[in-house]
Amino acid sequence: MPTNPYAWLDESLATIHRADWYRSVQTIHGRPGATVVLAGQEVINFGSNDYLGLAGDMRLIAAAITAIAEFGTSSTGSRLLSGHRELHRELEEAIASTKQTEDALVFSSGYLANLGTITALVGKRDLILSDQYNHSSLKNGAILSGAAVVEYPHCDLAVLKTQLSQQRQNYRRCLILTDTVFSMDGDLCPMPALLDLADEFNCMLLVDEAHATGVLGKTGAGCVEHFGCTGKQLIQIGTLSKALGSLGGYVAGSSTLIDFLRNRAPTWIYTTGLSPADTAAALAAIKIVQQEPQRRAQLWENVHYLKNLLEQQLPNLKLLRSESPILCFQLSSATDALKAGKQLRDAGIFAPAIRPPTVPTSRIRISLMATHEAAHIEKLVAVLKDIC
């Protein structure tokens, strides 16, 4: 018998190190923004999800401070017991109004919104079809639900259709899961075609708008709006922690769906309500998204500026197809990706290397913000030219 039941942890970590998959945290000092101080060095920040630059905005900060002064630091209980405040309802109404859905429900994070919603909607007599590149929260929600899970190749509608024709009739309910903006690639799901398939095979469709909320669509409502699918029957999940600069997640959909989730989603029922500060900050952010479309316009101007510069000056860079502020270029190994990340960092650019197991192939991931200046983008391209 081995003498130490924990010895495998060291061995496992050693394996992670050998593959160059090892990861650790890095400290950011001060407020978030287009430039940040990272481990003592000022860098241009291409590694944040704060697409509209709202996480450091004085109006969100003031809203959070006011809410703390009025309601305290904690909501002190689950929403169904002592944790519900008027602020939560205001936020849920603002989300439903932006999304043009009947209702919405906020969770403590986007991850928990996915886990709770998926496990409430399907169980062991049901089928989940899930895009291979979906976010971890969708994948783990699917596993936790106990449903039969079948992955389809990334955005491959032909395979999805075949799987549906072969398997749909063997199950009670069927749920299709997809990111709308794929978080580690930057491309979009084929939403109108997915809605058609869901219709044809009597399936529910759950879309994760984490990287689309505040970013895509005429009013910033997300990819559903971008594709003209507003008002269609579907289940929309999102986060308050990316373009909205706060913390928390949401589900938006029919009032029946939301009412059902309030009674059946374990990660909503058995956890403390969103804190007053996070709730108020998210509410302030939604108002800014509605009132300042120029922020979103500036973000997209930055995206087009970077894409044009890269096309002109680095035509050989292996850019992944992107229709979002997330731009990735591929490298042949985790070691190469780490090396490129380090070279960028030494030159004052923060753009993280993303490696397996997060993604199948190693890459550098660049995410743009509305608050990046032309000079920031030009510096990125100049440094990339040096190191490539």
Ligand X SMILES: *Cc1c(COP(=O)(O)O)cnc(C)c1O
Please say whether the dihedral angle defined by the alpha carbons of residues 54, 57, 61 and 64, taken in this order, is positive or negative. Answer: negative
Restricted to residues 18-47, the positions that interact with ligand X (CB under 6 A) are none
Q: Does 183 bind ligand X (CB under 6 A)?
A: yes
CB of 387 to ligand X, least distance (A): 27
Q: Does 109 bind ligand X (CB under 6 A)?
A: yes
Whichever of 117 and 183 has its CB closer to ligand X, that residue is 183
CB of 284 to ligand X, least distance (A): 17
Q: What is the dihedral of CA 206, 133, 46, 280, to 10 degrees?
A: 20
Tell which one of 99, 135, 226, 376 touches ligand X (CB under 6 A). 135
CB of 236 to ligand X, least distance (A): 12
Q: Does 239 bind ligand X (CB under 6 A)?
A: yes
- Phi/psi for 109 (5° steps) reads -160, 165
Give the residue closest to ligand X by C-beta.
110
Q: Does 222 bind ligand X (CB under 6 A)?
A: no
Whichever of 137 and 310 has its CB closer to ligand X, that residue is 137
Whichever of 183 and 362 has its CB closer to ligand X, that residue is 183
Q: Does 245 bind ligand X (CB under 6 A)?
A: no
CB of 182 to ligand X, least distance (A): 8
Q: Does 249 bind ligand X (CB under 6 A)?
A: yes
Applying CB under 6 A, which residues contact ligand X? Answer: 109-111, 114, 135, 137, 179, 183, 208, 210-211, 239, 241, 249
